[in-house]
A and B are shown apart, each in its own frame.
Chain A
Amino acid sequence: MSHPPEEAPFPPGPPPHPLGDPLVRREGREKVTGTARYAAEHTPDGCAYAWPVPATVVRGRITELDTGAALALPGVIAVLTHENAPRLAPTGDPTLALLQEDRVPHRGWYVALAVADTLEAARDAAEAVQVSYATEPHDVTLTADHPRLYVPAEVFGGPGARERGDFDAAFAAAPATVDVTYTVPPLHNHPMEPHAATALWTHGHLTVHDSSQGATRVREDLAALFKLGQDQITVHSEHVGGGFGSKGTPRPQVVLAAMAARHTGRPVKLALPRRHLPAVVGHRAPTLHRVRLGAGPDGVITALAHEIVTHTSTVAEFVEQAAMPARIMYTSPHSRTVHRLAALDVPTPSWMRAPGEAPGMYALESAVDELAVVLDLDPIDLRIRNEPGTEPDTGRPFSSRHLVDCLRAGAARFGWSSRDPRPAVRRQGDLLLGTGVAAATYPVQISATDAEAHAAADGTFRVRVNATDIGTGARTVLAQIAAAALGAPADRVRVEIGSSDLPPAVLAGGSTGTASWGWAVHKACTVLLARLREHRGPLPAEGVTVTEDTRRETEQPSPYSRHAFGAVFAEVQVDTRTGEVRARRLLGQYAAGHILNPRTARSQFVGGMVMGLGMALTEDSALDPVYGDFTARDLAAYHVPACADVPAIEAHWLDEEDPHLNPMGSKGIGEIGIVGTPAAIGNAVWHATGVRLRDLPLTPDRILTARAAPLT
């Protein structure tokens, strides 16, 4: 082992400050050459293939399972059912209690799993499984007055219902009011990589490659389900083809693959078919919103109520917390924010990009636009008049809040000042043109994480943390954070992520990854640097390693209200013959702390806005009341934006200084892009046409129907 000269490598030359540099994403070359391997792209020797069988009834019990025909097919190894599958221990996530009992809680629930030598045989066998059911009456239809509605005690981040002041009296007394309802349909995450896992048992040790947003959590849940020690399980999530929340916690594929591998004694690979995903990996639950705003003649809001109705399944409670943003956005001395939900016979909803904020801000920001029309005020001016000094719900100071700066800077870039506020007056042939604006917000959360930093004798560094790169550029930004803390060039820092063999970390979700992992990395590197500075003489051959965690830093809730903010501007055209709405321009202006890598950050902001465009115009699902199925299950029926749908999109940001976040001064940026975009587009459609549509998405049939009706 060669030792470096004593003066090198510390300190490592001129201080580079790679934080804020637009470094190219580290795994980019593997991704553009096709060598990056995802969960289903590992084929251990003797690997078998699995194909799941979904229930074809909505609610009931399995009365008979005939696997004879399936097992008779060539190449079929086994069919797992509730009668023969390995027993799982109960855990906190009942959606993972797969093939354990005869109950069918919703259509699409998995009732069997075929395993065969080849993919083709497994698929054939799954179709040959005969299942008989005793059905029971079901209800999948959410209504605003559903008899089973209840207020959950807690939603993520606060109480289910909250009252401040006397909303009813203030609203009744307000000279200017809006009282409107909006709906957002069920939405599907549909990451491009379907949920997949490859599982292998070796001498009692379970190794899985799983398409997951967090291998630490997958290992914890598998340990509980299979009654194993954490050290008996290894979970790899090296490259993940998107998740958008739907891979946040373990999903059926990893449990089924592990069960099948144990049952057959063979490695098993399982990639869920695209059409199965909506029923088994979570969805954004539909939300019915009632928003009431009351304001004085000066436009200052005196009464604000945002009440939402949504569904969960009978399997587990998940609340789309869509009334949360109304607790922090605007001056509102008298406020009511309520979530009500009904447990229906539907697939279990879960996180989808900006859960709560995305639909909640669609409704709230549309209603604010309606209030501006009532008051004859510019919608930006109205928002500025309602900028609160402290968080309305708690009175806590904001750690930083630059919404007004975003509105002003965005307006200048977009060319808002020349806007004629009158609706339906800009015509180009058959097209009506309009512009709209909406605010965006997303909370800052940080979770405890462990990280290891290592200085090698050759002057290079290695950082290890079980972060997950789901497309965010986590490897790259963690290298930048480490390099900044070490005062070393980023190319001297190797980053290892995506395996449960690494120090445990929080999953990639809630826009918390960079802050949570980065803080632990920063801390480990800072301690390492101090250790190196104390060190005399050459480093030992094995180098120097430190491991740190951020439990202490993250255990106390912040005394500050911490949120990213933004403003989204949209220009749309509405075809008066076909009813088609097309976005011509989208511009987002954000304030999200320090931006650590502008190249990858821009991609995240713009990507979120593209998903918001889909939510506004094309993404639409529903539950069929008779068959209990989602009506749009694949990418032919569920229209995510395609290249031709996406116009010029710009994302800009202010460099925001906030000392109350983390050592990098960063806020999460993975989700705020989808927030605000649907309302900006909807408000632009009103400006174009003079017609206020309150049900997403704004499809041609709705445009034509609304335009045919008398203007209201």
Chain B
Amino acid sequence: MPTADGRRDGADGPRPVNGRHSALTLTVNGTPHALTLDHRTTVLDLLREHLGLTGTKKGCDHGQCGACTVLVDGRRANSCLLLAVAHDGRRITTVEGLADADRLHPLQEAFLERDALQCGYCTPGQICSAVGVLAEAADGFPSHVTPDTAPSGAPVALTADEIRERMSGNLCRCGAYPRIVEAVADAAAAGAGVGGR
């Protein structure tokens, strides 16, 4: 049943097992997982500690750095701020779910080619965030730097300033930002955002 905010819970919603745990279903990278989880478990810790999907990184655990960015039903989110029990029935895409078997996602290719990474710890979050950026721009979401005169709801051209603004939730202490902007621009120019999610 769709809830008021439009999301769908799993078949029966999260089912309390005891006062501390509930059973729920989450689809991660296309695979449904039936889980019984501590109510305190975040989506980030679920991915890393329960499902072995350690591509999603924990940088601050407080929604300040973006290293844990994943896509929830196609939109980017800081998974450290999401309690898993509140996400029954949702579809999560992580960095492990972007490549098509051995064929990298165009953003992954662009990050490699531009050397848009150094230590690599923020990289999965940057790439997931960029996937979200391409989709948001294609869907006409404005940003702080989108001109006031831009037609409402029309796709937004991803200029360097747009990319810088939209990628500013993902910190990179190695300072790869100039290369990251180039990589996202490459992928946008190659049409990676169109139907990309």
* B86-115 near A? 1/0 per residue, CB < 8 Å: 000000001110110000100010011101
Task: Using CB atoms, name the residue of chain A closest to B41.
Answer: A120
- Of A418-426, A437-445, A635-643, the one touching chain B: A635-643
B67 in the interface (beta carbon within 8 A): yes
A34 touches B173 (CB 8 A): no
Q: Which among A27, A241, A607, A636 is the interface contact of B176 at CB below 8 angstroms?
A: A607
Flag A599-643 by CB within 8 Å of B: 1 or 0 each: 110111011111100000000000000000000001110001111
Contact, CB under 8 Å: B178 / A649: yes
Cα-based distance from A239 to B174 in the complex (angstroms): 14
Bound-state Cα–Cα, A273 to B65, Å:
13
Are the CB atoms of B56 and A643 closer together than 8 Å?
no
| B61 contacts A25, C-beta separation under 8 Å | no
- Contact at B175–A607, with CB atoms within 8 Å? yes
Let me know if A644 and B165 touch, CB within 8 A.
yes
Asked if B121 contacts A192 (CB within 8 A), the reply is yes
- Contact status A36-B120, CB under 8 Å: yes
Residues from 139 to 173 in B contacting A, C-beta threshold 8 Å: 163-165, 167-173
Inter-chain contact B121/A38, CB cutoff 8 Å: yes
Q: A36-B120, A470-B119, A648-B178 are in contact. Are A192 and B108 (CB under 8 A)?
A: no
Residues of B within 8 A of A191 (CB): 119, 121, 173
Knowing A192-B65, A193-B119, the reply to whether A603 touches B60 (Cβ < 8 A) is no
* Complex: chain A residue closest to B109, CB-CB: A32
Q: Shortest distance in angstroms between B92's beta carbon and chain A's nearest beta carbon?
A: 13
Tell me the bound Cα distance from A609 to B175 in angstroms. 8
- In the bound complex, what is the Cα–Cα distance between A473 and B179 (angstroms)? 15
Count residues of A near B (Cβ-Cβ below 8 Å).
64
Does B136 touch A at the CB level, under 8 Å? no
Chain B hits for A610, CB < 8 A: 175, 177
Closest to B108 in A: A32
A43: Cβ under 8 A from any B Cβ: yes
> With A239-B120, A643-B167 given, can you name 4 additional A-B contacts, CB distance below 8 Å?
A28-B117, A38-B54, A241-B119, A471-B119
C-alpha gap A62/B30 in the complex (Å)? 52
> Which single residue of chain A is at the shortest CB-CB distance from B56?
A34
A interface footprint on B54-80 (CB within 8 Å = 1, 0 otherwise): 111111111011010000000000000
Q: Which of A43, A244, A635 lies in contact with B60, CB distance below 8 A? A: A635
Contact of B174 among A74, A271, A273, A471 (CB under 8 A): A471
A667 at the interface (CB under 8 A from B): no
With a CB–CB cut-off of 8 A, which chain B residues contact A36?
120
Interface residue A242 (Cβ < 8 Å from any Cβ of B): yes
A645 to B169, CA, bound (A): 12
Classify the interface of chain B: helix, strand, loop or mixed: loop
Q: How many residue pairs at the A-B interface have CB separations less than 8 Å?
A: 182
**Chain B: CB-nearest residue to A243:** B119
Residues of chain A from 40 to 87 with CB closer than 8 A to chain B in the complex: 40-41, 43, 74
In angstroms, Cα B53 to Cα A35, docked, is 9
Interface check A131, CB cutoff 8 A: no
Nearest CB on B from A578, distance (A): 15
- Whether A603 contacts B118 in the complex (CB less than 8 A), given A635-B64, A644-B168, comes out as yes
Q: Knowing A43-B52, A643-B168, say if A31 contacts B120 (CB, 8 Å).
A: yes
B123 within 8 A of A: yes
Knowing A29-B112, A635-B64, say if A242 contacts B104 (CB, 8 Å). Answer: no
Distance (whole angstroms) from the CB of B74 to the closest CB of chain A: 18
Q: Judge if A654 is at the interface, Cβ distance under 8 Å.
A: no
Binding site for B on A (CB under 8 A): 24-25, 27-38, 40-41, 43, 74, 118-120, 124, 189-194, 239-242, 244, 271, 273-275, 470-473, 599-600, 602-604, 606-611, 634-636, 640-646, 648-649
Complex Cα gap A28–B112 (Å): 6
Contact A193 B121 (CB under 8 A): yes
Interface presence of B40 (CB below 8 A): yes
**B168 touching A43, Cβ below 8 Å:** no
Residue of A nearest to B127 (CB): A32
Which residues of chain B are within 8 angstroms of A41 by Cβ–Cβ distance? 48, 54
Q: What CA separation (Å) do A147 and B86 show in the bound complex?
A: 57
Contacts of B28 in A (CB 8 A): none
Chain B residue nearest in CB terms to A42: B54
Residues of B within 8 A of A634 (CB): 60, 62, 64
A583 to chain B, nearest CB (A): 12
A608 closest partner in B (C-beta): B175
Residue in A190, A608, A642 whose beta carbon sits within 8 Å of that of B168 in the complex: A642
**B64 neighbours in A (Cβ, 8 Å):** 274, 634-636
Contact A643 B170 (CB under 8 A): yes
For the complex, give the distance between the alpha carbons of A473 and B112 in Å: 12
B179 to chain A, nearest CB (A): 7
Q: State in angstroms the CA–CA spacing of A472 and B119 once bound together.
A: 7
**Contact between A643 and B57 (Cβ–Cβ < 8 Å)?**
no
> Could you list some 12 contacts between A and B, CB below 8 A?
A31-B117, A32-B108, A33-B104, A34-B56, A40-B58, A43-B52, A191-B119, A192-B171, A240-B119, A470-B119, A646-B177, A648-B178
Neighbouring A residues of B94 by C-beta, 8 Å: 34
Closest Cβ of chain A to B182, distance in Å, is 11
Distance between B10 CB and nearest chain A CB, rounded to angstroms: 22
- Say how far A626's CB is from chain B's closest CB, in angstroms: 25
Q: Does B122 contact A (CB under 8 A)?
A: yes
The distance in angstroms between the C-alpha atoms of A27 and B58, with both chains bound, is: 20
Q: Which residue of B lies closest to A29 (CB)?
A: B112
Q: How far does the Cβ of A51 sit from chain B's closest Cβ, in whole Å?
A: 11
Report the minimal beta-carbon distance from A382 to chain B, rounded to whole angstroms.
Answer: 30
User: A244 CA to B121 CA in the complex, in Å?
Assistant: 14
Assess whether A24 is in contact with B112, with CB atoms less than 8 Å apart: yes
B124: CB under 8 A from chain A?
yes
User: Are B124 and A34 neighbours in the complex by a CB distance under 8 Å?
Assistant: yes
Query: Measured between alpha carbons, how far is A709 from B163 in the docked complex, in Å?
Result: 38
Contacts of A645 in B (CB 8 A): 168
Taking CB atoms, residues of chain B closer than 8 Å to A192 are: 57, 59, 65, 67, 119, 121-122, 171-174
B-chain residues with CB within 8 Å of residue A608 when the two chains form the complex: 175
On chain A, the residues within 8 Å of B137 by CB distance are none
Report how far A43 CA is from B180 CA in the complex, Å. 31
Contact call B175/A643, Cβ cutoff below 8 A: no
